[in-house]
Structure formats: structure tokens, C-alpha cells
Amino acid sequence: MANTYRKWLASSLALVAFLNPAIAGTMPEVWKGEFAPASTREKPLVRIQPNASRDVAPYVSKSDDELHYNAQTQMRYIRALQKRVKYVFVIFNENQSFDYEFGTFPGVNGLYSDGSAPRPPSRTPGFTQKYTDQATGLGVSVQPFRIGPKQNATFVDSTDHSRTGLARKIDVVNGVARMDGFAADEYSRYANRSAAGQAKGKQFARLVMSHIDCETIPFFWRWASRFTIFDNIFATEDTPSAPNAVAMLAGQSGETQWVLHGAHGQNYSAAAPVCGVAYPNGTTQGAPLVNDAQPFYGSQFDSAATNREPAGCKEYYGSTNIEANLTFASVPLSLLGESAESVTEADADKSVDLPDVQQDIHFLAASREAPVAWRWYQEGYDLEPTDTTSTPSHNSYVSHHNGAQYFGYIANNPKMNVNLKGLGDFFSDIANGNFPEGGVIYIRGGFSNIAKLTPPIQNPNFPAALTASDIAAIQASKSGDDDHPAYADRQISEALAARIINAVAGNDALWRQSAIVITYDESDGHYDHVPPRILSYGPDGLPLSRGVRVPLLLISPYARAHAVSSAEGDHNAVIETINAIFGRAPLATLPDESQALEAGNSPEFNRYGPAGFQQKYLGPRDLPTSATQSLLSGFDLGRLEGSKPALPGSLATIPDSVVNTLPHLGNAPGGACAAIGVTPEDKVQKLGNPIPPGFNTLPSTLPQYN
């Protein structure tokens, strides 16, 4: 066993050295010796989904189940990927748990199956949730149930995804998340002594346990069925959106900044109005970022007279709701490579933005690695096709979703913030040849949608006979396209993903150089049964990493067809994959980050966790260790090396006529699931679906029906 471990260790260290020889000796001491295979599984890491539909069946190899992705094959994968893939597209959506969207997808670890065989409720953590009804004093039980077209499931209200609410929901006891506090949290946050509050709490306690399937999101299920779905990826932080938007770029939300500077913010004078509103002086929130505080740059505390970052004009900019300038390493910094010194020299305030990455900058500049392009496209960032004047309105801009804007060395540097663009710019850039020659491309939606689609009301009699004012309220509040339940519609959101994928897959030269990732920042607080590993605790003493499981799809000509990977990770898995493809040093090994990681594993920071806990992971985890696995297992080695044909773009594309017609596949014979050739697991098992009587999916939007 020891000999096997040493061989695996040597292979992993060789992989790190292969990526960048200069980093072989810079790994954090707390991680040396921690390279180990994932825990023993009864099923392989990668497996083929059951019952391939006719269009994908020719690309599914029976031998794929025998090709266990492991450390010994990683170098082959990386060498082949670096020859094939020049673009990584990240379609970064909002607020869905894995079980909510894919809990009945065949072949995954879902609500009713472990991916290989049915699993009873008694062996599913949190399957039966309980709370006490305040009016009667009686206990109430809630179990998962499916909603669909009859419940207008493309739009629902948002559940509790606050920092404290998520901690109550996952309910960590003795270091293990029990996943049993979802319904109780939802009920208790509304059920005061009023009858209306109790009714609203009851509806949210039900809503948080609901889930959807291919009748509601047929495009997402279609891509999952034809390519690779990952069923063991979690939110990096057990927090709402903004920290995880930052973590997508940095593998953390500021833990190393906390180690260096403490958790306290600074006092600032209000320097400028925000969207025409004058705000008072205030205090920034310190690191790590744990809630939806706004980026410093673009806020009222930003004193820049020119080249200002935008503010979201529908966002809250209270005097204590501004995050401190973030100053730790990120993917955009890493991608600078040998140009790091010359580019960061253009920063408008180097003394504020750059002190914590000085060693990193020198390391990157000495790496001799060519720069790699990157873009962050987000709806509402600048002038959009939906704007009615030549001045950007920023009405669709969700500023706390723009992870890049939180970093001063990006937002306050004209050579860096030129990479931040609006959503409309993505489509015009790709159509007009203004795209970089390779790179990492992040894409996000917003409060509205540039296609001007309206939510499809499939059942005008749910939750009751909808009035004209009810329909107007739905259309006004649910037309966003980033999948956030608070303001988005799921089919409008998957339509945006389809337009992006069509733009890539419809261009054969671009498609053959691309890997597309669809994933989410966090869960919105929807129930998921898989307990995340608790890797760190924040300055508030609550579990910080990881959060609830989220969906992730890998779409590429070199992806495994009709496959499931159970590689364990979070947003660091995406970063680790980017590192592998572009030969970048892992963020965790950069000098400043490595030193902060060392300092974090100390009594000063260990005291925030339970007795005996060690803060080994207060920072990025984008190394090939047991803590985070990359997405490489989702690629097919045969396709990468040319022994199998690449998957055609036609497997990924969806006709524009289908994309722009809502509801999606609503008139298909047998329904949307039949149209894409997928049968959900609960229907395979012929399980019942007891929807609670009087259920309302919109307890906040339409409270009159509670």
C-alpha cells in the first residue's frame, strides 16, 4: 500500500512539475504528502449513462467504463488537451442545486439513485425534512417532489441563500453536514405569529424541497445526456453569490487576504453618487467576502474620476454593503504570464491594489509563459442591445455577480479592465472576428434578457386562475437570463446558453478548439442530499467551504459522450482545468498565496473551527490533490489523441427556431423529455409524486395564493 502511495505521489508531483517546473518546490507545506487518490468508490469515477438516445449512441464506447481516469494518465490528458483546446468558455449561471435541476437525471448520484442502483429515502441524507408548525404545535414533514409545466416551473421564487441560512440548512454537526435544515430554515424565517407569515413559511418549506426535470429544462438535460455531467461539484463557499463569483476566478473569496490583514474593513468617505443616488460615508466589509456586498470599484467609495467601473442601478449600495478591495491572486493575473510586470505597471493605484501579489507578479514575469487572453462578458456591464439610448443604463447589470470587478488590479487598470464587457459584446465579437486567438471566456446573464423573451406561462390556472395583474407581475419579475430564481426564467436562461453554444459549435474551426463549461455559483438554498466536505471555517465561526452541490456540464468535441463523472471539487476544479490546458502555475503555488496558506494553518485561525480542526485550505485549492479534482476526467482520451472521431458540433447545437420558441419543446409529442430521448429516474422507477395540496411556487411574487 505504501509503495502504491509513493508511486501515486511521485506521479502527482511530476504532474505539477510538468505544468510548470518552477513551482515544484513551492507547494504549501501543509499540502506536501497530501497527494492521494480519491476515496475508494464502489463505482468507477467515470461511467456511462444508461439508455443512450439514437443521436448520441454511435459516439458511446462500451470500453469507456474500463478507462478509469487516474493520476497515471493525467499527463497524457494534459499533453493532448494542450494540443487540441485553445478556448475554455465558462457559462456561469446563478443559484441552482444539483438535486433541484438534475436530481432525477439517469446515471447520476441523485434523489432516488446512487447512479448505479435505486437508493431508498432512508439512505438519502435529509430526504425527510421536519419543522414545527407554530399555529398547531405539530410536527410537519416535507419530502422531495417534482414540479413541471402544470406548476409553471420555469419560474419560481428564490429561497434562503444567506450566509447564516445556508449554515442552518447544511447543519454541520461534528464536522459532518447533515443536510436536514432546509425546510425548517425556510419556515422559521417567515412564520412569525401572523397567519400570513405562517402561510408563507409553509410554502417556502415546500418550495425548497421541490425539483424539476427535462420537462422544464430540456436543453440543459439534452447537453447533459450527450456530453458529460459532473455530479460531485460544490459551491466553493457556503455563501450567497458574490463570494462564489470571486471564487470562480480565484478559488477562494479572500481567505488569504483575511490571513494577511484580518477580517475588518476600513472607513471611507463617499466620493461619488451611484446611479444618481448620494450615499453616506461608511465602512467596507473585510475579507473574506461572505455575502453579496458590492465591489469597491464602481461604488460610492471609489474616488476615480475617469475610467470608472459601472454600478448596477438596481443594486443595493448601503454604506456598509461595500466589500474591501480584493488583492489576492486570480486566473486573470496568472494568465498574464511573462507580461505580468508590464501590465500591472499600468495600475492606477499600485500601492493599494498590488502589495499582496508583488512576489506573484515577479514569479509570473520570470516564468517565460506567453500571456493568455481572457474576457468576462456580463449582461448590463456596458451598452446593451436592449438600451434605448447611446448611454448604458446598466439596468440589467448585477454588479455583485461580476467577480472580476472586485479585484483592484483588474478594475483599476485600463490594460486589465478592457477585458470586461457586456453580454451583447460577446455575440458581436464572435460574429465580427474580434475574438482573441485562444483564451478563457466567462459569460454571465442578468436581470433581463437581450433576446426580449417573456416567461412562458404554461398553466394559466396555477396556483389559481391568473389575472392580468398576476401575469404582469410574473413578466416584470422573471425575465432574467442567468437562471437566478429571484428574477430569471429557466427557459429564458437555457435559451441564452443555447445561443452561446450555437455561436461556438456552429463555427467548426472554433468548435474544434473549444471546451465549454456550464456551471453555477451556488445553490440558492435549494435542497441537495450530498454533504459537502467541510474544509474551512470563516471569521464568523461558520463553515466556509464547501457549500451545497451545484450542476456542472462539460461540452466539447473531446468530451466523453453520454457520461457521468464523480470527480470531487468546486470552482477550483474549473481553475485546475484551465491551469492544465494553458500550462499555468496553480494559484495555490504562487509565492504570496503559498505563504498565506502556510500562515493560515495556525492556532490564530484554527480556533475558528471546532477543536482539533486545521485550516489547511484558507485559499485556493487548484492543485491536483485529494482536496480538488479537475474536470479532465470528463474528456475522452481517445478523442484527444485521435483514435476516436471528435464529437460533431451538431450534438451541441439547437435550431434557433426551437431556442426562440417558448415553452421549449412544449408541443412535442410525449413532452420535452421524450423529445430529447431521456427518461427521468423517478419515472423509470415509477415512483409517486405527491405534490402538496395548495402549493404555490411564487409565495413572494403572488402571496395572495399562499
What's the per-residue H, E or C state across 490-539?
A: HHHHHHHHHHHHHHHHCCHHHHCCEEEEEEECCCCCCCCCCCCCCCEECC
For residue 589, what pLDDT is reported? 95
pLDDT-derived band at 624 (thresholds 50, 70, 90) equals: confident
Sequence-ordered alpha helix ranges (H) in 146-296: 163-170, 182-190, 195-207, 218-226, 241-250, 255-261
For residue 294, what pLDDT is reported? 98
pLDDT-derived band at 45 (thresholds 50, 70, 90) equals: confident
For residue 39, what pLDDT is reported? 39
Do the Cβ atoms of 256 and 299 come closer than 8 Å?
no
Joined together, the cell numbers standing for residue 383 give 451598452
> Nearest-CA neighbor of 375 among 396, 402, 393?
402
For residue range 93-125, list pLDDT tens digits in order: 999 999 999 999 999 999 999 999 999 999 999
Cβ neighbourhood burial of 658 (10 Å; 0-12, 13-18, 19+): middle
Which of 67-81, 85-99, 300-314: highest mean pLDDT?
A: 85-99
Cβ neighbourhood burial of 19 (10 Å; 0-12, 13-18, 19+): buried
Cα→Cα distances 418→381, 422, 516, 642, 684, Å:
12, 11, 23, 37, 50
Q: What is the DSSP letter of 625?
A: B
Does residue 28 have a pLDDT over 70? no
For residue 60, what pLDDT is reported? 93
Buried b (16+ CB within 10 A) or exposed e, 200-238: bbbbbbbbbbbbbbbbbbbbbbbbbbbbbbbbbbbbbbb
Q: How many CB atoms lie within 10 A of CB 685?
A: 11
The domains of the chain are located at: 2-85+97-233+593-705, 238-412+437-471
pLDDT-derived band at 33 (thresholds 50, 70, 90) equals: very low
Mean pLDDT lowest for which of 40-49, 368-377, 487-496, 650-659?
A: 40-49
Joined together, the cell numbers standing for residue 24 give 515544484
pLDDT-derived band at 75 (thresholds 50, 70, 90) equals: confident
The β-bridge partners of 92 are 519
Residue percentage of the chain with pLDDT more than 90: 89
For residue 61, what pLDDT is reported? 80
* Distance of alpha carbon 634 from alpha carbon 565, whole angstroms: 6
For residue 566, what pLDDT is reported? 94
Tell me the chain's radius of gyration from C-alpha atoms.
Answer: 24
Helix/strand/coil for 173: strand
Does residue 59 have a pLDDT over 50? yes
* Distance of alpha carbon 186 from alpha carbon 324, whole angstroms: 30
For residue 626, what pLDDT is reported? 78
For residue 95, what pLDDT is reported? 96
For residue 74, what pLDDT is reported? 84
For residue range 512-521, list pLDDT tens digits in order: 999 999 999 9
Mean residue pLDDT across the chain: 92
Q: What is the DSSP letter of 304?
A: -
